[in-house]
Amino acid sequence: MSSWTLEQVAQHKSPESCWVIIHNKVYDDHPGGAEIILKYAGRDATVVYDPIHPPDALDKNLPPTKHLGPIDSKAADVIAKERSSLALTKDEIRVEEARKRMPPLRRILNLTDMEKVAEQILSHKAFAYYSSASDDEITNIENARAFTRYFFKARVMRPVAHCDPSTKILGFKSSIPVFVSGAALAKLGHPDGEVNITKGCFKEGIIQMVSSNASLSPATIIDAAHKSQTLFFQLYKHRNDEIAEKRVREIERLGYKAIFLTVDAIVPGNRERDVRSPWILEEQESGPLYHVETDNDMLKEDVNIFGTAGALVANDDRDMTWEKTIPWLRRLSKLPIVIKGVQCVEDAVLAAEAQVDGILLSNHGGRQLEYSLPPLEVLYSIRQQRPDVFERLEVYVDGGVRRGTDVIKAICLGAKAVGLGRPFLYAQSAYGADGVVKIIQILKREITTAMRLLGASTVEDLHPDMIQRVDWQAYIRPKL
């Protein structure tokens, strides 16, 4: 295979013929979005490619005919020189300075403290992606506010000197009823990405769910795990059954212990904070951009309205059904199946009838359908209307959890465990694996304290009689 010059690659920068250079190799197209491809058409795209793609993405997602070969040595030297002399952007300078002012990890007392640090040290792009939610971000806010409508009915004079917050999730041990919920693109916040979370989870004995859209491959992540460690996999089913089947067989072969089939992200949500992020960075560098009337069609849509997430779900199956998809997955794998993204009592019942092993009540952290119910309220409704569901499968909750007391409220109402996504992204971005360890330790301390004050020495002692929903709401001081 011959090598290419920069001049040859630069000739291919149109929608009809679009080449990019990644790690000194030339590709015809790449598995991103059309906007990104064309922006870097005919030149090197490595810097923007690396944080949001696993290293093996090109090999797996592009046919061999799209792999055009290496650039020549002269081109490689030019690109290396350009990278080394590239001036830092204003945002990169801000991040460098902020990292010098990070507080000692021992002074992080709660998950909100960790988020405050992450907001300062993350790039604008990374924080916009991690924190963004759909439309006016009301659902994201209400996920957390839902917990303020539930109060404890603490029991006293109970022996709690020995307090054990451990549990089992799908039969696998966890030191607390908490797991890492699937979250994409950890390398946006830290070069080690998801491996930070893997290492932190092992040290503290909790389970990590790995996203299909992780910035490291499933193989890389599981290779970094201890051989005794339990990892689950969050599956975004590809619309092509053959491609989807290949992914399922791969994760089972690699040693993942359960499949969390994601059903609430068949199209990207309207995450406007993420969409606006490139404009803010552009104006930081070049100044404000103003409207100019031209002869062109001013109403033409030329904005990447789906933001960073658009390309991640572009090929997801939009025609999944209880009758078709669950039997298909059962035929492929013997792993436990959990449906991630259940948002109402009716679908919880259908999941039980489909005989899946669990459901994760989730609205994707408020990132998909605005005004979808807070998962805790869905959990309460299942408890009130169809308590039999808890006997037929395991029920989990994610969204809005920031305190050990939040976890305990969900467990009292019948959840087997609670998932957190953003807090682990923030922790690993700021302090790497040590940050992950720290927030697990914080949650463990808060959970144990709450259990003792509630009168429970084990998670089996937590039950619905210990919780009461109120028709008023606690006053919450602003935190950020």
Report the Cα 464 to chain-centroid distance in Å: 30
| Nearby residues of 110 by Cβ (< 8 Å), 6 or more positions away | 402, 403, 442, 446
Place of tokens 């807090």: 423
Q: Is 238 a catalytic residue?
A: no
Q: Is 236 a catalytic residue?
A: yes
The DSSP call for residue 265 is: -
What are the two backbone dihedrals, phi and then psi, of residue 312, each rounded to the nearest 5 degrees? -70, -30
Name which of 456, 478, 436 is nearest 197 in CA terms: 436
Question: How many other CB atoms sit within 10 Å of the CB of residue 300?
Answer: 7
- Given 364, 380, 426, 431, the catalytic residue: 364
Return the domain boundaries, the chain.
6-85, 112-270+310-469
Residues pairing with 316 in the sheet? 238
Report the Cα 277 to chain-centroid distance in Å: 18
Sheet with 19-22, strands from edge to edge, namely: 19-22, 25-28, 67-70
Three-state SS sequence of 92-122: HHHHHHHHHCCCCHHHCCCHHHHHHHHHHHC
What CA–CA distance (Å, rounded) separates 342 from 263? 8
pLDDT tens digits along 109-126: 999 999 999 999 999 999
Two structure tokens written together for 292? 């100019």
What CA–CA distance (Å, rounded) separates 32 from 53? 9
Fold of 112-270+310-469: TIM Barrel (3.20.20)
What CA–CA distance (Å, rounded) separates 432 from 436? 7
Q: DSSP letters of 326-388? A: HHHHHHH--S-EEEEEE-SHHHHHHHHHTT-SEEEE--GGGTSSTTPPPHHHHHHHHHHH-TT
- Given 129, 236, 396, 426, the catalytic residue: 236
Q: pLDDT per position in the chain (480 positions), as tens?
A: 578 888 888 888 777 788 888 888 888 865 555 555 667 777 888 877 777 777 777 777 778 888 888 888 888 888 888 887 788 999 999 999 999 999 999 999 999 999 999 999 999 999 999 999 999 999 999 999 999 999 999 999 999 999 999 999 999 999 999 999 998 999 999 999 999 999 999 999 999 999 999 999 999 999 999 999 999 999 999 999 999 999 999 999 999 999 999 999 989 889 999 889 888 988 988 899 888 876 565 555 566 666 676 667 778 999 999 999 999 999 999 999 999 999 999 999 999 999 999 999 999 999 999 999 999 999 999 999 999 999 999 999 999 999 999 999 999 999 999 999 999 999 999 999 999 999 999 999 999 999 999 999 999 999 999 999 999 877 777 765
* CATH value of 6-85 in 3.40.50.2000, 3.40.50.2300, 3.10.120.10, 3.30.300.30: 3.10.120.10
**pLDDT given at position 20:** 86
Two structure tokens written together for 372? 């979808």
Report the Cα 199 to chain-centroid distance in Å: 17
- Given 27, 30, 44, 264, the catalytic residue: 264
**pLDDT given at position 302:** 62
Given a contact cutoff of 8 angstroms between Cβ atoms, the answer to whether 438 and 137 are in contact is: no
Q: Is 264 a catalytic residue?
A: yes
